[in-house]
Amino acid sequence: MFDYLIVGAGFSGAVLAERLASVLNKKVLIVDKRNHIGGNAYDCYNESGILIHKYGPHWFHTNDDNVFRYLSQFTEWIYHYHIVKTFVDGRLLPIPINMDTINGLYGMNLSSPEEVNKFYDSVKVNVGVPKNSEEMVISQVGVDLYNKFFRGYTLKQWEIDPKDLAASVTARIPTRTNRDERYFTDKYQGIPKQGYTNLFQRMLNHKNITIALQTDYKGLVDSVKFDKMIYTGPIDSFFDNVHGKLPYRSLIFEHETLPMEYYQGYQQVNYPNEFDFTRIVEWKHATKQKSHLTTITREYSVLATDEMEKYYPIPMESNHELFKKYQAEAESLKSVIFCGRLADYKYYNMDQVVARALAIFRNKITGKGE
Contact 256, 365 (CB under 8 A): no
Contact 78, 286 (CB under 8 A): yes
- Select 211 or 304, whichever has its Cβ closest to ligand UDP: 304
- Long-range contacts for 359-365 (Cβ within 8 Å, ≥24 apart)? 360/16, 361/15, 361/16, 361/19, 361/20, 361/23, 364/337, 365/16, 365/19, 365/20, 365/24, 365/337
Which parts of 272-331 interact with ligand UDP (CB under 6 A)? 272
The dihedral formed by the CA atoms of 81, 82, 88 and 93, expressed in degrees to the nearest 10? 0
Q: How far is the CB of 320 from ligand UDP (least distance, A)?
A: 17
96 upstream amide cis, omega within 30 of 0:
yes
If one asks whether residue 130 binds ligand UDP (CB under 6 A), the answer comes out as no
Which parts of 137-176 interact with ligand UDP (CB under 6 A)? 149-150, 153-154, 157, 169-170, 172-173
Q: How far is the CB of 297 from ligand FAD (least distance, A)?
A: 10
Q: How far is the CB of 153 from ligand UDP (least distance, A)?
A: 3
Count of C-beta atoms within a 10 Å radius of residue 205 = 12
Longest CA–CA span in the chain (Å) reads 69
Site residues (CB under 6 A) for ligand FAD? 7-13, 31-34, 39-41, 55-60, 216-218, 232-233, 251, 311, 340-342, 348-351, 353
Nearest Cα neighbor of 98 from 87, 82, 112 is 112
Q: How far is the CB of 191 from ligand UDP (least distance, A)?
A: 14
**Antiparallel, parallel or unpaired: β 248-258 and 294-303:** antiparallel
User: What gap in Å lies between CA 232 and CA 344, rounded to an integer?
Assistant: 8
Which parts of 87-116 interact with ligand UDP (CB under 6 A)? 95
Number of residues that bind ligand UDP (CB under 6 A): 13
Q: How far is the CB of 111 from ligand FAD (least distance, A)?
A: 32
Residue 13 site contact among ligand UDP, ligand FAD, none (CB < 5 to 8 Å, cut-off depends on kind) = ligand FAD
Residue 342 site contact among ligand FAD, ligand UDP, none (CB < 5 to 8 Å, cut-off depends on kind) = ligand FAD
Which residues contact ligand UDP (rule: CB under 6 A)? 86, 95, 149-150, 153-154, 157, 169-170, 172-173, 270, 272
